[in-house]
Amino acid sequence: MDNTLQTPTILRSDYRPLAWRVESVELDFRLDAEQTLVTSRLACVRVPGASGPLPLDGEDLELVSLRIDGAEAGECMRRTERGLEVTPGSDTATIEIVTRVNPAANTTLSGLYASKGGLFTQCEAEGFRRITYFPDRPDVMARYTVRLEAEQASFPVLLSNGNLVDSGELPGDRHYAVWEDPFPKPSYLFALVAADLEAMERSVETLSGREVLLQVWVEPGNLDRAGHAMDSLVNALRWDEETFGLELDLDRFMIVVVADFNMGAMENKGLNIFNARFVLARPDTATDADFEGIESVVAHEYFHNWTGNRVTCRDWFQLTLKEGLTVFRDQQFSADMLARAAGAEREASARAVKRIDDFRGLRAAQFTEDSGPMAHPIRPDSYQEINNFYTATVYEKGAAVIRMQHTLLGAEGFRKGMNLYFERHDGQAVTCDDFVAAMADANDRDMTQFMRWYSQAGTPVVRASGQWDADARRYTLTLAQHTPPTPGQPEKLPLVIPVAVGLIGPDGNDLPLRLEGDSAAGATTRVLELVEAEQHFVFEDVDAEPVPSLLRGFSAPVLLEIDESDARLAFRMAHDADPCNRWDAAQRYAERVILALAAKADADVPEAFLDAWGALLADESLDPAFVALAATLPGEGWLLERMRPADPAPLRAALMRVMRAIGERFADQWLGLYQRLEVRGPYRYHPADAGCRALRNLALRYLAAAGNEDGLNRAETQFEYAENMTEQFGGLAALVHSASPVAEDALDNFHTRFSSDALVLDKWFALQAGAWRWDEAAPPVLERVKALMDDPAFKLTNPNKVYSLLGAFFRGNPAEFHAADGSGHAFWAEQIIALDAMNPQVASRMARSLENWRRYTPALQTSIRTQLERVRDADGLSPDVAEVVGKALVG
Ligand code: TRP
Ligand code: ZN
148 and 44 in a common domain? yes
Averaged pLDDT, 455-477: 98
491 and 370 in a common domain? no
Report the alpha-carbon distance of residue 562 to residue 110 in Å, rounded. Answer: 47
pLDDT at 75 over 70: yes
344 and 316 in a common domain? yes
pLDDT, one tens digit per residue, over 534-583 is 999 999 999 999 999 999 999 999 999 999 999 999 999 999 999 999 99
Report the alpha-carbon distance of residue 191 to residue 161 in Å, rounded. Answer: 6
Q: Is residue 280 part of a domain?
A: no
Question: How close is the Cα of 388 to the center of ligand 2, in Å?
Answer: 15
Report the alpha-carbon distance of residue 547 to residue 721 in Å, rounded. Answer: 48
Atom index in ligand 1 nearest the CA of residue 395 equals: 4
Nearest to 502 by CA among 516, 521, 519, 523: 523
Ligand nearest to the CA of 385: 1
Q: Is residue 281 part of a domain?
A: no
The residue from 149, 219, 301, 816 that is catalytic is 301
Give the containing element (helix H, strand E) for 482.
strand 474-482
CATH number for 501: 2.60.40.1840
Q: Is residue 306 part of a domain?
A: no
Grade residue 601 by pLDDT with cuts at 50, 70 and 90.
Answer: confident
Burial of 16 from C-beta contacts in 10 A (0-12 / 13-18 / 19+): exposed
489 and 450 in a common domain? no
Last residue of a domain, one of 427, 455, 483: 455
pLDDT, one tens digit per residue, over 126-138 is 999 999 999 999 9
Identify the residue whose C-alpha is closest to ligand 1 atom 2.
Answer: 266
Report the alpha-carbon distance of residue 193 to residue 185 in Å, rounded. Answer: 18
Report the alpha-carbon distance of residue 242 to residue 238 in Å, rounded. Answer: 6
Give the containing element (helix H, strand E) for 798.
none
490 and 439 in a common domain? no
List CB contacts of 755: < 8 A, sequence separation 6 or more: 761, 793
CB of 546 within 8 A of CB of 513?
no
Question: How close is the Cα of 265 to the center of ligand 1, in Å?
Answer: 6
Q: Is residue 886 part of a domain?
A: no
487 and 447 in a common domain? no
pLDDT at 238 over 80: yes
Q: For residue 680, what is the DSSP state?
A: P
What are the respective helix, strand and coil percentages of the chain, to the nearest 5?
45, 20, 35
Neighbours of 675 (CB within 10 A): 11
Q: Report the residue among 106, 110, 121, 124 best suited for mutation to probe ligand 1: largest number of ligand atoms under 8 A from its CB.
A: 124
Question: How close is the Cα of 214 to the center of ligand 2, in Å?
Answer: 20
pLDDT at 5 over 70: no
Question: How close is the Cα of 46 to the center of ligand 2, in Å?
Answer: 32
Ligand nearest to the CA of 274: 1
Q: Report the residue among 263, 273, 321 best suited for mutation to probe ligand 1: largest number of ligand atoms under 8 A from its CB.
A: 263
Report the alpha-carbon distance of residue 704 to residue 742 in Å, rounded. Answer: 12
Strands 192-195 and 118-122, sheet pairing:
antiparallel
Nearest to 475 by CA among 532, 550, 386: 550
Give yes or no: 720 in active site. Answer: no
Q: Is residue 285 part of a domain?
A: no
447 and 517 in a common domain? no
State the pTM of this model: 0.99
477 and 434 in a common domain? no
Atom index in ligand 1 nearest the CA of residue 301 equals: 15
Grade residue 522 by pLDDT with cuts at 50, 70 and 90.
Answer: confident
Report the alpha-carbon distance of residue 248 to residue 271 in Å, rounded. Answer: 13
Residues with CB under 6 A from ligand 1: 122, 124-125, 262-263, 265-267, 300-301, 323, 387, 390
pLDDT, one tens digit per residue, over 339-389 is 999 999 999 999 999 999 999 999 999 999 999 999 999 999 999 999 999
Question: How close is the Cα of 552 to the center of ligand 2, in Å?
Answer: 27
Atom index in ligand 1 nearest the CA of residue 264 equals: 7
Full residue range of the structural domain in which residue 143 is found: 22-274
Report the alpha-carbon distance of residue 726 to residue 594 in Å, rounded. Answer: 29
pLDDT at 1 over 80: no
Nearest to 374 by CA among 818, 848, 865: 848
Last residue of a domain, one of 527, 556, 585: 556
Grade residue 520 by pLDDT with cuts at 50, 70 and 90.
Answer: low
326 and 252 in a common domain? no
Report the alpha-carbon distance of residue 237 to residue 434 in Å, rounded. Answer: 26
CATH number for 76: 2.60.40.1730
Percent of the chain scored above 90 by pLDDT?
Answer: 98
> Chain-wide mean pLDDT for the chain?
97
Percent of the chain scored above 70 by pLDDT?
Answer: 99
255 and 384 in a common domain? no
The confidence score (pLDDT) of residue 518 equals 83
Report the alpha-carbon distance of residue 525 to residue 382 in Å, rounded. Answer: 40
Q: What is the DSSP string of 757-793?
A: -HHHHHHHHHHHHT----STTSPPHHHHHHHHTTSTT
40 and 154 in a common domain? yes
Q: Is 730 helix (H, G, I), strand (E, B) or coil?
A: helix
Total domain count for the chain? 3
Ligand nearest to the CA of 324: 2
Q: Alpha-carbon Rg of the chain, whole angstroms?
A: 28
pLDDT, one tens digit per residue, over 255-307 is 999 999 999 999 999 999 999 999 999 999 999 999 999 999 999 999 999 99
Number of H helices and number of E strands within the chain? 29, 31
Neighbours of 62 (CB within 10 A): 12
Q: Is 738 helix (H, G, I), strand (E, B) or coil?
A: coil
Query: What's the number of CA atoms in the CB half-sphere (13 Å) around residue 286?
Result: 24
Report the alpha-carbon distance of residue 469 to residue 388 in Å, rounded. Answer: 52
Measured CA distances, 379 to 182, 375, 393, 598, 861 (Å): 31, 11, 9, 38, 31
Last residue of a domain, one of 556, 573, 600: 556
Q: Is residue 53 part of a domain?
A: yes
pLDDT, one tens digit per residue, over 418-447 is 999 999 999 999 999 999 999 999 999 999
Q: What is the DSSP string of 64-133?
A: EEEEETTEE-GGGEEE-SSEEEE--SSSEEEEEEEEEE-GGG-TT-SEEEEETTEEEEE-TTTTGGGTS-
Neighbours of 281 (CB within 10 A): 25
Identify the residue whose C-alpha is closest to ligand 1 atom 7.
Answer: 266
Question: How close is the Cα of 202 to the center of ligand 2, in Å?
Answer: 24
Identify the residue whose C-alpha is closest to ligand 1 atom 3.
Answer: 266
Q: Which residues of 488-511 are buried (b: 16+ CB within 10 A; e: fewer)?
A: ebeebebbbbbbbbbbbbeeeebb
CATH number for 403: 1.10.390.10
Q: Is 363 helix (H, G, I), strand (E, B) or coil?
A: helix
Q: Is 528 helix (H, G, I), strand (E, B) or coil?
A: strand
Q: Is residue 109 part of a domain?
A: yes
Grade residue 891 by pLDDT with cuts at 50, 70 and 90.
Answer: low
Q: Report the residue among 262, 269, 300 best suited for mutation to probe ligand 1: largest number of ligand atoms under 8 A from its CB.
A: 262
Give the containing element (helix H, strand E) for 447.
none
Query: What's the number of CA atoms in the CB half-sphere (13 Å) around residue 478?
Result: 10
416 and 511 in a common domain? no
Q: Is the dihedral of CA 72, 75, 79, 85 positive or negative?
A: negative
Q: Is the dihedral of CA 158, 164, 170, 173 positive or negative?
A: positive
- 557: phi > 0 → left, psi -120 to 50 → alpha, else beta; which? beta
Grade residue 797 by pLDDT with cuts at 50, 70 and 90.
Answer: very high
Q: Is residue 693 part of a domain?
A: no
Atom index in ligand 1 nearest the CA of residue 304 equals: 15
Report the alpha-carbon distance of residue 132 to residue 113 in Å, rounded. Answer: 14
